[in-house]
Amino acid sequence: MAKSKKKTVFFCKQCGYESSKWLGQCPGCHEWDSFVEEPVAKAVPGVSGTVSATKKDAVPTLLSNVTTDDENRISTKISEMDRVLGGGIVVGSLVLVGGDPGIGKSTLLLQMCRNLSDEGKKVLYVSGEESLRQIKMRAERLGTFSRDISILCETDLDIISNSITDMMPDVVIIDSIQTMYREDVGSAPGSVSQVREATSILMRIAKGLHITVFIVGHVTKEGVVAGPRVLEHMVDTVLYFEGDGGASFRFLRGVKNRFGSTNEIGVFEMRADGLREVLNPSEYMLQGKPENEAGSVVACSIEGTRPILVEVQALVCRTNFNMPRRTSAGTDYNRVNLLLAVMEKRIGLHLGDCDAYINVAGGMRINEPALDMGIVLAVLSSYKNIAIDSKTICFGEVGLVGEVRAVNQAEQRVLEAAKLGFDRCIMPKVNCESLSIDSSQLKGMKLVGVKSIYELLEEI
């Protein structure tokens, strides 16, 4: 008797769209060549060890009867992480932490577990990639643990869910989601079906048992969490741990947060004994900045609600090739090309026969339009070989006709610059005229408002 053919369906790797046949372009997210074939998961009545514990009678509740208080947040005792989370961990939330391999995700979460256990919280660390011995070695490198945390090296979600319901911890770490699997789902660990099913089970555990769950996710070459995009939609908070592998700085960025502001960043420094917080990133970023050198300018960017001062460097030199080179590190390459074209058209800067290299020092990646003026000023300084005073700071968006447009949170930027001792700030004229800052707060800093890059050229 011939065996019946195993039924399969096709999933989009980007958004999780399901189709009975292969499609060249996904109707959901319009990505090309993103469908993969996977077997159909068997229908099961529920999740073993989870449904009975989390299922409750659904009764509508009046919004006025729902109360919120500060006690629902748990401090991680890591101020930079609390900032990104919106003030601490929300009980019963599901948090996704993504980042490149070796960037420090597991180290950061293990440090958080140590702090939570010191506060008397029950913590369960589930690892599907490391052995108990490897986790112990990393824990010893981080320092002493005054209280024990529970460790489970397992990849079977049924066993993990049973352990969680038996132990009832306050916080659970899943490292990583791509290694988890269920036998009822026929595909391999890390596939679209397994990742989606695993996240669904963990979400029911978090919401039903009021347990905070942190999920570690691998990233693709493009820098996004591997697996279907629906994974990011299911969780409450998405954090990305970024940084150059050759630099000591690490940045924890919140790209989604149902309980706080997005695009907040926390800054850390990687050391031999783990990650150390950088409480004043502006001062740290400007360490080693050269003085009285052409092509170096300090600009101010806003990351979430925090102003951060960074050094923008430019090197403009004559090219030996028919096509000039354009290179950018730390900012958008296309934006740099656009600004170079604006300078060539509006102020007659002949850059068609020059190579241009732009760099944001410190390893940060900034895409905020307020960095435009810093890039323009650095290029002008390098091209004309005129050094910008090291106590000068700038910010502002540059348009296609060369105008300098207003940016948000100008007061915070100016106050941060004054706090660090800058004595001149070049900014959009609109922002300069609308500032409501007391002169004592400026500490003698001179404000210069410009309307166009032509005025900026005259200023230097």
**Could you tell me which residues are annotated as the binding site for ATP?**
99-106
The amino acid occupying position 70 is D
CA distances from 401 to 95, 331, 343, 372, 398 (A): 43, 21, 9, 13, 8
Contacts of 1 (CB under 8 A, 6+ apart): none
DSSP 326-369: EEEESS-HHHHHHHHHHHHHHS----TTEEEEEEETTS-----G
Point out the annotated binding site: 99-106
- Extract long-range pairs of 115-120: CB within 8 Å, 24+ residues apart: 115/76, 115/77, 115/78, 116/74, 116/76, 116/77, 116/170, 116/171, 117/145, 117/146, 117/147, 117/148, 117/149, 118/77, 118/146, 118/147, 119/74, 119/75, 119/77, 120/147
**Contact criterion met (CB below 8 Å) for 368 and 341:** no
DSSP 55-96: --------GGG----GGGEE--S-HHHHHHHTSSEETT-EEE
DSSP 138-197: HHHHH---SS--EEEE--BHHHHHHHHHHH--SEEEEE-GGG-B-TTS-SPTTSHHHHHH
> What is the crossing angle of helices 105-118 and 132-142, to 10°?
70
End-to-end CA distance of the chain: 86
